[in-house]
Copies of this chain bind each other. A is one copy, B any other.
Amino acid sequence: MTAPVLLLLTHDATGAVVSVDQVDPAKPHVSVADLSATRGDGIFESVGIVGGRAQALEPHLERFARSARMLDLPAPDLDVWRSAILRAADLADEPETELLAKVIFTRGVEGTGVPTGWVHVFASPSYRAAREGGIRVVTLDRGYRSDVADTSPWLLQGAKTLSYAINMAALREAARRGADDVVFVSTDGIVLEGPNSNVIALIDGVYVTTPVELGVLKGTTQGAFFADVEARGAKVEYRSMTLAELQGASAVWLSSSGRQIAAVTELDGVPMAQDPAITPVELAALLAR
């Protein structure tokens, strides 16, 4: 069993990191007044570490910086965060095990103006069943129009915040409906993303995903998937998809940093078309990154 690794990034009031310290993850390190714990007020990334390699590190750091801007947090010093993630991965020293690095940056203890940060590396749960057998998915209304990222930036759509209670509630609702995961749909019928994933659909021979302009996260694993299929000569497209298009796709996957990709076998209780030739090839390519 992999021993978790925890690095704390101590900041000063300017938002600069003054030290990075390895500490015991079994002990508490967060104040009850930290705005992460009281308000979900902060941002995160989950970086997959496979074969000792932190995957899609630059896209993760770029998205981390974008989330910080959207939340009016100090700009994270990406060089320091990159080093911390690589050092934590190195300290975990488990090339045979898939790991996850939770990279967290919060508004800090209320009233101090000093952000809090940490990198926590631990063994991934097993994704074998989902990767090999696929997942049953339900669609759930996200309650927002597909244009809210433009009209109402304070709703923080497209930022990866620590306020994930709705995402967790959506996953519990999926379980109640006998499903494994969720695809959120906008009130105007546009396919958005999963609570922890992006949606990739194969439609008329083209791999399609929802563009970030519609308030979804920029997918790091989806980006790697697209790069790989493009290198094999396939076409990719970022465009809005209706629910009807998703239902009629030749195949659908959810992509995420830990699980990589999982084929959707059932959508709202209806068996989905699948392409059993693609999933293992792409999964292998994603794991080999």
Contact = CB atoms under 8 A, between A and B. Distances in A.
Interface of A: 6, 25, 27-42, 44, 71-72, 102, 104, 106-107, 118, 120, 122, 140-145, 148, 151-156, 159, 161-170, 172-173, 187
Contacts of A148: 141, 143
User: Counting chain B CB atoms within 10 Å of each CB, which of A33, A35, A102, A153 scores highest?
Assistant: A33
Contacts of A170: 154
A165 B163 contact: yes
A276 to B, nearest CB: 32
A168 B39 contact: yes
Main secondary structure, interface of A, reads mixed
Top 6 closest A-B pairs, CB basis? A40-B40, A163-B163, A163-B165, A30-B30, A40-B163, A39-B164
A165 B170 CA distance: 18
Nearest to A215: B143
Contacts of A30: 28-32, 34, 37
B154 A37 contact: no
Nearest to A111: B125
A40 B162 contact: yes
Given A31-B28, A166-B156, A37 B36 contact: yes
A168 B155 CA distance: 10
Given A29-B31, A31-B29, A39-B40, A143 B155 contact: yes
A187 to B, nearest CB: 7
11 contacts: A27-B31, A29-B31, A30-B34, A32-B104, A36-B40, A107-B168, A143-B144, A143-B155, A144-B144, A155-B169, A162-B165
Contacts of A39: 40, 162, 164-165, 167-168
A33 B120 contact: yes
Contacts of A35: 168
A72 to B, nearest CB: 6
Given A38-B104, A39-B164, A162-B37, A32 B29 contact: yes
